[in-house]
Amino acid sequence: MTAYSELSGHFGRIAALSNAVGILQWDSDVMMPKGAAETRADSMALLHVLRHGLVTDPRIGDWLAGAEGDASLGTWEQANLREIRRVWTVETALPADLVEASSKAISACEMRWRQARADADFAGLLPYLTEVLNLQRQIGRAKGEKLGLSPYDALLNDYEPGGHSARIDALFDDLAAFLPGFTQEAMAVQAHRPALEPLEGPFATEAQRALGLRLMAALGYDFERGRLDISTHPFCGGADNDVRITTRYDEADFTKALMGVLHETGHALYEQGRPQGYLNQPVGAARGMSVHESQSLLMEMQACRSRQFLAYAAPLMREAFGGSGPAWEAEAMWRRYTRVEPGFIRVDADEVTYPAHVILRYRLEKALIAGEMTLADLPSAWNDGMKALLGVAVPDDRRGCLQDIHWSSGGWGYFPTYTLGAMTAAQIFDAACRAEPGILPGIGRGDFAPLVGWLRANIHGKGSLLSTDDLLTEATGRPLDAAVFKAHLRRRYLEEA
């Protein structure tokens, strides 16, 4: 066997193990009885250690040395070697006992978070989250020493390969200066419209689920390779060719869960569209979380809050819930789904105020990793930041610093990818619509094939063949440019309004 075939076979086994971890994690979040938590934590920790052992196998260095000199390898194989070396370099920075300790701490913290969130009990979560944070700091330092990065940038690199906080600081400081004034402009425009009539519920969970499934099918979700379930925090997970999504329902308001389903469907379409020939190789993986979040936000914000989509979807909503009257008309639905109103909950936030939620979390997690603030100070710092950035007073920790699972699940360095993703989504959707004039008319008919086809060719099917900047430049003609996102906001909330 050649060095490259040894590597590809080895990483195929790693992918199979990662798939098993993905399904067990999905089960933990969706179906697992509470009494199984400790046993599951031990199983997950062992699997993470086994995976770490495979990724840090000392033979990989020799195989890479042999394969990187093989002139017969094609473009995809060469890119795969680049990605294998990147993964191997990062993973060899961590000792196995740190991987095991982190996995166990995360499992315990995730389970405690579910109860703490329900009870608005930050004090009950604090010791669990403290252990997770301490271990994440150790992981960040170990990876940072290996990569020549700060601990925070080393953690960020797991979600945004090649990303740096200095660049994010500049982008986010610019947005933080732009958004407050723009928010006031958008709210002033909508204040001149007649008040929206309420949608009278209740809206049965089963009816919400049926509508979500119908729209998932319209977007192109493959139900032969996935499913829709309920969880405390919506997510997309599972395994290769088994891409599962979740949402949460509120029988007093169907609009939130529906957009949550469409958001997670965007993630799932990306996963289902990755290159099948390299699905079990690093080069076939999604190109980082800013691109992944761009695909969910492209579907939810760019496509499914458009007038075209809501003209198609409004009759389906009326049919699903037996609605009638002006509140159920397409224009009213568009106004409802583009209403700007600062609130407490990130996943329910409108497109304009959403970035402020992310900027706050980014600034807080950077300070926590750096040791510039303590976890005990998190609730007050969170509440002060929400007041400063969004002008809202947080009533309790359930709607404050306990609302997201990310920190409890070890996702330190993840949050900035949401707003990077929103900016990327605007740029990709703009390029797609310019390249394929049939996209918006298709969305108006419930035909997403033109859009998904373009995404398959230009984003999904590329896997990790290119760097994030190169992928975006090849697809849109330029690297990430905040001006496109700002232009989209102005067009939707000031000009089209």
Q: Which residues are catalytic?
A: 264
Q: Is the peptide bond before 379 cis (omega within 30 degrees of 0)?
A: no
DSSP structure string for 212-252: HHHHHHHHT--GGG--EEE-SS--EEEETTEEEEEE---TT
Q: 109, 40, 493: which is closest to 306 by C-alpha?
A: 493
Query: Is-contact 187 179, C-beta < 8 A?
Result: no
The first and second tokens of residue 21, run together, are: 């971890």
Query: Is-contact 152 369, C-beta < 8 A?
Result: yes
CA distance 403 to 342: 16
Query: Is-contact 222 182, C-beta < 8 A?
Result: no
Residue with the two structure tokens 């271990």: 135
**Backbone φ/ψ region at 240: left (φ over 0), alpha (ψ -120 to 50), beta:** beta
The angle at the Cα of 468, spanning 447 to 457, to the nearest 5 degrees, equals 30
From residue 473, alpha-carbon distances to 21, 77, 202, 468 in Å are 34, 22, 46, 9
CA distance 30 to 274: 25
Please enumerate in sequence order all residues whose Cβ is within 8 A of that of 232, keeping only pairs 6 or more positions apart, or say none: 29, 114, 117, 248, 405
CA distance 271 to 228: 15
Residues in the chain: 497
What single DSSP character describes residue 403?
S
Beta bridge partners of 237: 244
Q: Is 150 helix (H, G, I), strand (E, B) or coil?
A: coil
